[in-house]
Chains A and B, each alone.
Chain A
Amino acid sequence: MFFLNQMSTILQMGFIYAIVGLGVYITYKILDFPDLTVDGSFPLGGVVFSVLLVNGCPWYVGMIAAFAAGALAGFVTGVLHVKLKINGLLSGIITMTALLSVNYLIAGGAQVAFSQLDTLLHNSMLDSLPRAAANYVAVLFVLLFVALCKVLLDLFLKTKSGFMLRATGDNPQLVTQMGRNTDNYKMLGLSIANGLVGFAGSFYCQNGSVYNSSMGTGTVVIALACVIIGCVISKHIRVMADTTGVVIGAVLYYAILTAALLLLGSDYTKLIVAVLFVLVLVFDSGLIGRTLKGFVKRKRARQGEKGGGSDA
């Protein structure tokens, strides 16, 4: 039973962060843009959803609004970067900082609770089921949306517009040469990416039936870890799309994080998140692989010497 509960939590959180990961994949991998807006747009989606719900809106309206709010945040970062020519990293930090206040103002405080209200993940239909079953049905709902986001993103990246988005990250000069303004594609990419992140934020709040202003801290680190793990996986499996890798990477990341949390306790959460990120980055750089190979080689060489010695 304990295992089943942990498993559903891992899948639930993994899938929610997979949506964040898909967004960050657009900025980090496709546009090659270090977007820190995410730490602000994730709770922005959450707070917009929560406040709308508390004020009588149905959950689906709240979720669409969460996407729109996130997209707007990404658009602001885009405008700061391409129109006001502010460095990309700084543009994201500026928007993220501003959103701390914006989120607080929208929420009217640090928390919005809605445990009595119906959402996609907590409603009367699910309550009638046994607890464990309800958890897994909720996981399935999130998975459906993950799949939807993934398929739509894959399809978009294969359109003419998607081609230009990819080319913008690859070689902006080519886009210019085709008579298009790269500024527009950067703003488009940032908007879609943060829209997805805001959308994921609404899921995060539904999961606990509460919005908490601290939910955004560290989002970008977690999402980047998911994206990097995912891209390592998809690089080694040829037929797999990067986006599928990101979803698997997110679940894998949450499994490792949960295991570490169970061993050390929740006080260590952010420390574990940071350490895991370092491990992922080091793994991605190939440093671990090379060190291990070198170690094995040296060991073999030493054994060879010893063997040679005894023969003589």
Chain B
Amino acid sequence: MLELKGIEKRFNRGTPDESVLFDQFNFSVREGEFVSIVGSNGSGKTTLLNLVSGTLFPDAGKIFLDGEDITDRKEYVRAREIGRVFQDPSRGTANSMTIAENMAIAENKGKAYGLTAGLNKKRVSAYRDMLRPLGLGLEDRMNTPVGSLSGGQRQVLTLLIATMTPIKILLLDEHTAALDPKTAEQTMVLTDKIVREKGITTLMVTHNLRFAEQYGTRLCMFDKGHVVLDAAGEEKAKQKVDNLLALFNEISIECGN
């Protein structure tokens, strides 16, 4: 489904500060997998998502999505097949526009944005039906600007927007990190529900070891551009937060932290 081959990525290229993150890095994700990625800061988790989404380009190597080489495609072109939710809730929605308007934009993804009505009034009740199962009461606030919603509500809406049209892969970039523990939990439960229902291949970067252990079908731990733990299926089921934390500490000590 998703395949990164021989990826090389350096930062501050050509300066004395040059650092190599990925060198001959290979990573692949099978269709329908829900991969949780953990690792310390600077381990390459977010860079991996940025390489897949096209925010960053590799210095060498190839990226394939569904067998197609997407290495040289620009971010906005790749985005047609990729959904993404960021850590910052304000990055996923247009904040001065209403909930209904945001959903109308999302529903049209992949089609032309021409001179027909931006918001089809007849669709609003369908949007309401999509919001109702979330249990946040958003279905009664269709004409509220998204900017006046709380971070958690916005993040859930972003999740819905990112998965409204068929996509090949969903990228979750620490999407619960800016939320309070309870909201983070709710968001995670909803994420799991949406991903399962739609069977979307998902890459989730998180700092929450418990989420990584509890959700998803595969767990990876990154360190300095290498995958130090890769457990799927039964092997993943054996992983507990305690031994994850132990491994995590081991890596961090190696770093000198």
A182 vs B74: C-alpha distance when bound (angstroms): 12
A159 vs B105: C-alpha distance when bound (angstroms): 10
Beta-carbon contacts of B69-110 to A below 8 Å, as 1s and 0s?
000001111011001101000111111110001101110111
Which chain A residues lie closer than 8 Å to B104 at the CB level?
163
A6 nearest CB across to chain B (Å): 38
A32 nearest CB across to chain B (Å): 10
Question: Is the CB–CB distance between B76 and A173 below 8 Å?
Answer: no
B253 at the interface (CB under 8 A from A): no
A169 nearest CB across to chain B (Å): 8
Interface residues on B, range: 20 to 34
The interface centre, meaning the residue of A156, A171, A180 with most chain B CB atoms within 10 A of its CB, is A171
Which chain A residues lie closer than 8 Å to B116 at the CB level?
159-160
Question: Is the CB–CB distance between B105 and A179 below 8 Å?
Answer: no
B35 at the interface (CB under 8 A from A): no
Closest residue of chain B to A168, judged by CB?
B94
Which chain A residues lie closer than 8 Å to B79 at the CB level?
176-179
Closest residue of chain B to A171, judged by CB?
B94
Which chain B residues lie closer than 8 Å to A179 at the CB level?
76-77, 79-80, 109-110
Which chain A residues lie closer than 8 Å to B74 at the CB level?
181
B118 nearest CB across to chain A (Å): 4
Beta-carbon contacts of B114-131 to A below 8 Å, as 1s and 0s?
111111000000000000
A150 at the interface (CB under 8 A from B): no
Which chain B residues lie closer than 8 Å to A162 at the CB level?
118
Which chain B residues lie closer than 8 Å to A181 at the CB level?
74, 76
Choose among A158, A174, A182 the residue that contacts B94 (Cβ–Cβ < 8 A).
A174
Question: Is the CB–CB distance between B110 and A174 below 8 Å?
Answer: no
- With an 8 Å Cβ cutoff, the count of chain A residues facing the other chain is 22
Choose among A163, A171, A177, A180 the residue that contacts B118 (Cβ–Cβ < 8 A).
A163
Which chain B residues lie closer than 8 Å to A175 at the CB level?
76
Which chain B residues lie closer than 8 Å to A159 at the CB level?
114-118
Interface residues of A in 138-191 (CB under 8 A from B): 156, 158-164, 166-167, 170-171, 173-182
Question: Is the CB–CB distance between B75 and A176 below 8 Å?
Answer: yes
Question: Is the CB–CB distance between A163 and B83 below 8 Å?
Answer: no
Question: Is the CB–CB distance between A180 and B113 below 8 Å?
Answer: yes
Question: Is the CB–CB distance between A176 and B76 below 8 Å?
Answer: yes
Beta-carbon contacts of B48-87 to A below 8 Å, as 1s and 0s?
0000000000000000000000000011110110011010
A145 vs B83: C-alpha distance when bound (angstroms): 43
Question: Is the CB–CB distance between B162 and A170 below 8 Å?
Answer: no
Question: Is the CB–CB distance between B114 and A160 below 8 Å?
Answer: yes
Closest residue of chain A to B147, judged by CB?
A170
Question: Is the CB–CB distance between B76 and A163 below 8 Å?
Answer: no
Question: Is the CB–CB distance between A167 and B105 below 8 Å?
Answer: yes
A158-B119, A159-B116, A173-B86 are contacts. A178–B106 as well, Cβ < 8 Å?
A: yes
A166 vs B93: C-alpha distance when bound (angstroms): 11
Beta-carbon contacts of A9-37 to B below 8 Å, as 1s and 0s?
00000000000000000000000000000
A163 vs B105: C-alpha distance when bound (angstroms): 7
A162 vs B108: C-alpha distance when bound (angstroms): 13
8 contacts between A and B (CB under 8 A): A159-B117, A160-B108, A163-B119, A166-B94, A167-B105, A178-B79, A178-B108, A179-B80
For the complex with contacts A163-B118, A177-B162, 13 further pairs of A-B residues with Cβ separation under 8 Å are A158-B119, A159-B116, A160-B105, A161-B118, A163-B113, A170-B96, A171-B90, A171-B95, A177-B84, A178-B106, A179-B77, A180-B113, A181-B76
